[in-house]
Amino acid sequence: MASKQGESKGSAPGKNMLWGGRFTGGLDPLMVAYNESIYYDRAFYAQDIAGSIAWARANKNRGILTSDEFSAIEKGFAQVREEWATNTFEIKPGVDEDIHTANERRLGEIIGTGIAGKLHTGRSRNEQIATDMRLWLHEELRKIEGHLANLLKVVAARAEQEIEHVMPGYTHLQRAQPIRWSHWMLSYGLAFATDLQRLREVVKRVNRSPLGCGALAGNPFDIDRDAMAKELGFDELIYNSMAGVADRDFVVETMQWGSTLMLHMSRWAEDLIVYSSAEFGFVKLADAYSTGSSLMPQKKNPDSLELLRGKSGRAFGHMAGLMMTIKGIPSTYNKDLQESVEPLLDHVKTVGDSIQIATGVLSTLVIQPDKMLAALTPDMLATDLADYLVRKGVPFRETHHISGQVVALAEKEKTPMDQLTFEQLQSVDKRFDKDIEETFDYQKSVEMRSAKGGTSKSSVEEQVKVLKKMLEGQ
């Protein structure tokens, strides 16, 4: 009696489940839902179908399928793909456990289970999901590469067009030395360009084929893995079958890359949030990337930038969560690896959307050079005073002290440094000559920083050229 009551609480696995033959006992309905991945791995429908067609073709070439059977499978999958694309595919809860099961079940309904049942010969879902994820991710990372390239093009264009404008540069969020606005843009632009280089390296390691690895031990029908990889656009194979089904390094590495990019994006957004505040007023965000206050009519909030800053934490969480999931599992496939799919999907969307938002923000941003210029103060040229004496042969440690005395004098007299008299300057050090007045010039200050990587016009122009070369893959 107890046994019958226990059996009634669940239902036996559906006959269409690829693993159902071994099991006769019931499944807890919650376990069915807990186990299902179809509602998110459906994103891989096109890749799963492409992999299945390549698999069927390889089996035809090994004599496992006839040409007519292969043609039926290929034609049937064309209909399945169309149903997914037009959102008419009907998912059967409790039956369509994942995208692989759903596609094979529907194929059997279209062409008959006799032929469709041959499709899975020698194949495991372990290799299928790894193949699907890699195919999908390769396509998505190429899209992200395009989005990032667009952002860098905007950075380069604005850096060239707005190179004349000078603003304060900051350390410790305190005004430090004059810099060009373009120099600030390129400080992040070159970081994003390095991210682009890293992305291109990640893509290479993503684009390796696990198809033909079986559940863990390989394929018993001498299937041509190279031919399948070539058909699907993979660059190379994963050469160990156990590694092929277990490896999620490509997901972790993608998330590590995305987290690094979002780290840069967050800092970039933070700077612009500060620069857009009334206290700074260096930039104005377009209405398209701002919102207002529900209470205060005068407010214009930089929500786009705040969301970029906030979503960086989300991206970091994807990476850390997955690493904690997979760090202790034993070799080959374990169900824990199913937890790599949802964070990957969200990570790729978060990063891709963020880059596009950042590009929109920067494309429509309005700078206010008068506010930048007004924020410059003569004390920011204190290092220039020290450099002036260095050129007269005075040791820098001494000139640094002398310049500090000039700053102290200006503070004592409540007078900007550039308005101190020549006599006052000489009272600090007799080696100041009349030409010291030329030092109090912000444009001259930035032009003096002409070594590679500096903020002079020639250095900034060189940085733009370097960025463009990185963009081109050089």
> Hey, is 367 helix, strand or coil?
strand
| 340 carries an active-site annotation | no
Using only C-alpha atoms, the chain has a radius of gyration, in whole angstroms, of 31
Query: What number of other Cβ atoms are within 10 A of residue 11's Cβ?
Result: 14
What are the angstrom distances between the C-alpha of 22 and each of 13, 84, 241? 9, 30, 24
Q: How far apart are CA 136 and CA 125, in angstroms?
A: 16
> Hey, is 291 helix, strand or coil?
strand
Written as six digits, the tokens of 328 are: 């202790």
| 293 carries an active-site annotation | yes
Which candidate, 423, 421, 422, 380, places its Cα nearest to that of 403? 380
Looking at residue 284, the DSSP 8-state letter turns out to be E
What are the angstrom distances between the C-alpha of 278 and each of 167, 273, 282, 298, 300? 16, 10, 9, 12, 10
CB 165 within 8 A of CB 182: yes
List 277, 293, 331, 450, catalytic entry: 293
Give one DSSP letter per residue of 37-103, joined into a string.
-HHHHGGGHHHHHHHHHHHHHHHHHTTSS-HHHHHHHHHHHHHHHHHHHTT-----TTT--SHHHHH
Written as six digits, the tokens of 343 are: 């964070």
CB 344 within 8 A of CB 133: yes
What are the angstrom distances between the C-alpha of 99 and each of 81, 121, 133, 287, 293? 12, 18, 12, 42, 44
How many residues belong to the chain? 474
List 3, 67, 172, 294, catalytic entry: 172
Sequence-separated (6 or more) residues with CB below 8 Å from residue 466: 190
For 178, list phi and psi in degrees, rounded to 5: -65, 140
- Amino acid letter for position 162: E
CA dihedral 300, 302, 306, 308 (to 10 degrees): 150
CB 369 within 8 A of CB 165: yes
Q: How far apart are CA 139 and CA 206, in angstroms?
A: 10
Q: How far apart are CA 15 and CA 8, in angstroms?
A: 18
CB 105 within 8 A of CB 92: yes
**Residues assigned a catalytic role:** 172, 293
